[in-house]
Amino acid sequence: MLHGKNILLVISGSIAAYKALELARLLRKAGATAHAVLTAGGARFVTKEALAGITGQRVHDDLWAAEAEIGHIRLARLPDAVVVAPASADLLAKMAHGLADDLASTVLLATRAPVLVAPAMNPAMWEHPATRANLAALRARGVAVVGPGEGAMAEPESGPGRLSEPAEIFTAIAALLAPAGPLVGRHAVVTSGPTHEPIDPVRYIANRSSGKQGHAIAGALAALGARVTLVSGPVVQPDPRGVTVVRVETAREMLAACEAALPADIAVMAAAVADWRVAREADQKLKKQPGAAAPTLEMALNPDILATVSAHAQRPRLVVGFAAETETVVQHAVAKRARKGCDWIVANDVSGDVMGGDANAVHLVTAAGVEDWPRMPKADVAARLAQRIAEDMA
Ligand code: CTP
């Protein structure tokens, strides 16, 4: 379950910090990669060397050194989950208030990954209204909490505040990353972005697609629990969380990657595939000859990926195409749905600022008719489409 996952372990100051070593060992044994960030307090209880030995990774403990090596933003983006174990009262307070004055707190403020905290502190500190309020704020923001347990502590005191056992924290991490939602068990293939069709080794034909809509759809399907293969042309979009990305350049590569990804339950073809490619790609850069006329490019038809997948022996149960139109949008989309053999068409008017922009006004064309959706952010179009897909698959 945790195999192949990247887990960022944040270790803050507590006598229980030694348990983080065992947690790191369990993660590594499960095939996950544990990356550790040590606070100044944490470093009083476990050494960087011990952590590096157990994780097999460089340990980060200094905001400015980390900046030079990898950068706190990359460190925040890299993990599938961030686990704060032990989480001291001080670090929980910083998290609750959005402070960012060292590497651990900065990474915790910058990450979008799910966060699990395993508090460890003296019972009086745990029961203090300030800590209670901080925990409530973190929980309200979706931070998961494991423990603390009750029992004997380092001090001659007992009560709640004892760090959960490594095995318990491990189980909580697995639960945090377990896929959930109506599309669990479904595989979706999504295409996104433009294709690049080479003219010669340095030139290509492309289009204005940014991949924003397709990437958002892949992320939205994954958020509902689907296993998603995103076949993407060249884009600058970050990989959506929890999605397997296959990078391609040309239409023919995109088709091959889509066919290789089958079988699937769902296909959403949001890529702006080039209809034509240059018939003969030059092996060497085309040279401008003095006095000679400009070259003429002979074009060849590219395969239609949507039509091919719609007619495939392993056709997904639901095939959704897009229709980028600049006039009579719905009419063209209805005809396109029939021509391509897909189940739904998401039609949009690309004559305005849709390509590369953040908002989209679409029409959903199905066998039952046409729905006009209001203009909304592309992320909302993606969420709504994923929801519709989940209802259809139910
Ligand atoms: N598409 C595809 N392969 C192609 C061309 C398009 O899979 N070679 C898919 C797109 O991903 C989209 C749908 O077909 O889901 C419609 O794309 P669009 O560019 O709007 O349509 P075209 O097929 O190019 O038709 P037309 O030129 O008539 O608009």
Q: Is 190 exposed, middle or buried (0-12, 13-18, 19+ CB in 10 A)?
A: buried
Whether the pLDDT of residue 357 is over 90: the answer is no
Q: Looking at ligand 1, which residue's alpha carbon is closest to its atom 24?
A: 275
HSE (side-chain half, CA atoms, 13 Å) at 148: 30
| 212 C-alpha to ligand 1 centroid (Å) | 17
Among candidate residues 207, 302, 348, 360, the one labeled active-site is: 207
Q: Looking at ligand 1, which residue's alpha carbon is closest to its atom 27?
A: 275
Residue type, 228: V
Q: How much is the pLDDT for 164?
A: 95
| 272 C-alpha to ligand 1 centroid (Å) | 7
Q: Ligand 1: residues whose CB is within 6 Å?
A: 191, 251, 269, 271, 273, 275, 302, 304-306, 321-324, 336
| CATH 3.40.50.1950 fits domain 6-177 | yes
Q: How much is the pLDDT for 155?
A: 63
Per-residue model confidence as pLDDT tens digits over 114-144: 999 999 999 999 999 999 999 999 999 999 9
**What are the extents of the domains in the chain?**
6-177, 187-393
| pLDDT-based confidence at residue 349 (cuts at 50, 70, 90) | confident
Output the pTM of the full model. Answer: 0.74
- Which pair of structure tokens corresponds to residue 48? 């960087």
Do residues 168 and 247 touch, judged by C-beta distance below 8 A?
Answer: no
| pLDDT-based confidence at residue 277 (cuts at 50, 70, 90) | very high
Whether the pLDDT of residue 69 is over 90: the answer is no
Kindly give, in sequence order, each residue whose CB lies less than 8 Å from that of residue 49, ignoring residues fewer than 6 positions away.
none
Q: For ligand 1, pick from 276, 336, 346 the residue to mutate: most ligand atoms within 8 Å of CB.
A: 336
| 255 C-alpha to ligand 1 centroid (Å) | 13
| CATH 3.50.50.60 fits domain 187-393 | no
d(CA 44, CA 227): 42
Common-topology check for domains 6-177 and 187-393: yes
Q: Where are the alpha helices (DSSP H) in the chain?
A: 18-29, 48-55, 63-69, 72-77, 89-97, 103-110, 123-127, 129-140, 166-177, 212-223, 251-261, 305-310, 329-340, 378-393
Q: How much is the pLDDT for 150?
A: 86
> What percentage of the chain has pLDDT greater than the value 70?
98
305 CA closest ligand 1 atom index: 7
Q: How much is the pLDDT for 67?
A: 63
Is 207 a known active-site residue? yes
The dihedrals phi and psi of 21, each to the nearest 5 degrees, come to: -65, -45
Q: Looking at ligand 1, which residue's alpha carbon is closest to its atom 6?
A: 273
- Over range 274-280, report the average pLDDT: 97
Whether the pLDDT of residue 354 is over 80: the answer is no
Q: Tokens 């239409």 label which residue? A: 251
Do residues 275 and 301 touch, judged by C-beta distance below 8 A?
Answer: yes
Whether the pLDDT of residue 154 is over 70: the answer is no
| 319 C-alpha to ligand 1 centroid (Å) | 13
